[in-house]
């Protein structure tokens, strides 16, 4: 069963706690991305990684951290420094080809109270 | 800085109608443009990808066009069905030919097709 999995689907945390969102893929894609979506808004890029052990900040990286120790996995940690962490988080991947089409996981809805 | 705008923000049509969704971008130096569909609470599903050298792409009842020089793309949906109800997002990729290039998204058009 190929694809991108994100777990859990819903996540609840208390303010001040760090939380890690999982993203796993078995598509053998090189690049992986994390986006944040707020109600009525488009997606904003948090971090992306083109190869293992390398990643770059996106447009809104403050308060987030990532790692890319394996090609299949790109976990995102939402730290207590992120001022407004409640949002819908989407992971995406793209293959190493000239099209660079991005494929998305089902998302994780994080609620921090 | 690339900015992507989608008009209208919401659209409601009766079943069977043909419709057009619009996407405009400020920087014409794009590598490609991708149209996505998003159902409530779900991830994005890629519908069509148009390379900068192409003028249109078709998939079933969907046709996407690209006019790079004017910074515009349209998504045409023929014979709309209630199952087409969703939010449609367009995204442009910067003009670099490497894996991991960034997309800039519009805010989407929320489409409702009424039976």
pLDDT digits (tens, 9 = 90+) for B44-93: 999 999 999 999 999 999 999 999 999 999 999 999 999 999 999 999 99
Task: Provide the pLDDT for residue A39.
Answer: 85
**pLDDT of A7 over the 80 cut:** yes
CA angle, A108 then A111 then A113, to 5°: 165
Decide: A42 and B4 in contact? Cβ < 8 Å.
yes
Query: By the CB < 8 Å criterion, does A41 face chain B?
Result: yes
CB atoms within 10 A of CB A70: 11
Give the B window 47-66 contacts with A, CB below 8 Å: 49, 51
B105: distance to nearest CA of chain A, Å? 6
In chain B, which residues have their Cβ closer than 8 Å to the Cβ of A92? 44
Decide: A45 and B103 in contact? Cβ < 8 Å.
yes
Query: By the CB < 8 Å criterion, does A63 face chain B?
Result: no
pLDDT band at B100; cut points 50, 70, 90:
low
Say whether A42 and B105 touch across the interface (CB within 8 A).
Answer: yes
Decide: B113 and B82 in contact? Cβ < 8 Å.
yes
Which of A50, A88, A104 is the closest to B100 by Cβ?
A50
Tell me: the pLDDT tens digits for A62-87?
999 999 999 999 999 999 888 899 99
**pLDDT of B94 over the 90 cut:** no
Single out the residue of B45, B43, B48, B81 nearest to residue B66, CA to CA. Answer: B48
Query: By the CB < 8 Å criterion, does B108 face chain A?
Result: yes
Say whether A50 and B98 touch across the interface (CB within 8 A).
Answer: yes
Query: By the CB < 8 Å criterion, does A30 face chain B?
Result: yes
Three-class secondary structure of residue B16 per DSSP = coil
Task: Provide the pLDDT for residue A90.
Answer: 97
Task: Provide the pLDDT for residue A19.
Answer: 94
pLDDT band at A97; cut points 50, 70, 90:
confident
Tell me: the pLDDT tens digits for A20-76?
999 999 999 999 999 999 987 789 999 999 999 999 999 899 999 999 999 999 999
Decide: A93 and A24 in contact? Cβ < 8 Å.
no
Mean pLDDT lowest among A53-62, A103-112, B15-24, B98-107: B98-107
**Which residue of chain A has the CA closest to B109?**
A40
Q: From the candidates A43, A61, A95, A108, which should be mutated to test the interface with B, based on the most B CB atoms within 10 A?
A: A43
Q: Is the dihedral of CA A49, A34, B23, B4 positive or negative?
A: negative
**pLDDT of B95 over the 70 cut:** no
Q: Both tokens of residue A11?
A: 């996540």
**Which residue of chain B has the CA closest to A57?**
B102
């Amino acid at each position: 069963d190929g694809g991108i999995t994100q777990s859990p689907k819903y996540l609840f945390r208390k303010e001040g706690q760090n939380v890690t969102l999982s993203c796993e893929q078995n598509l053998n894609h090189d690049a992986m991305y994390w986006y944040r979506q707020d109600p009525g808004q488009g997606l904003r890029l948090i971090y992306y990684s083109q190869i293992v052990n390398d990643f770059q900040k996106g447009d809104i990286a403050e308060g987030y951290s990532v790692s890319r120790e394996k090609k299949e996995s790109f976990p995102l940690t939402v730290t207590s420094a992120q001022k407004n962490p409640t949002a819908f988080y989407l992971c995406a991947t793209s293959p190493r080809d000239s099209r660079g089409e991005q494929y998305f996981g089902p998302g994780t809805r994080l609620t921090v109270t | 800085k690339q900015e992507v705008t989608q008009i209208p923000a919401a659209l409601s049509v009766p079943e069977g109608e043909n419709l057009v969704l619009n996407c405009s971008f400020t920087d014409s130096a794009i590598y490609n443009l991708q149209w996505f569909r998003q159902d409530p609470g779900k991830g994005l599903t890629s519908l069509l990808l148009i390379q900068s050298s192409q003028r249109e792409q078709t998939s079933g009842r969907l046709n996407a066009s690209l006019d790079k020089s004017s910074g515009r793309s349209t998504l045409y949906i023929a014979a709309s069905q209630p199952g087409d109800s969703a939010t449609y997002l367009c995204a442009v990729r910067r003009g670099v030919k490497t894996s991991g290039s960034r997309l800039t998204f519009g805010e989407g058009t929320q489409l409702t097709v009424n039976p």
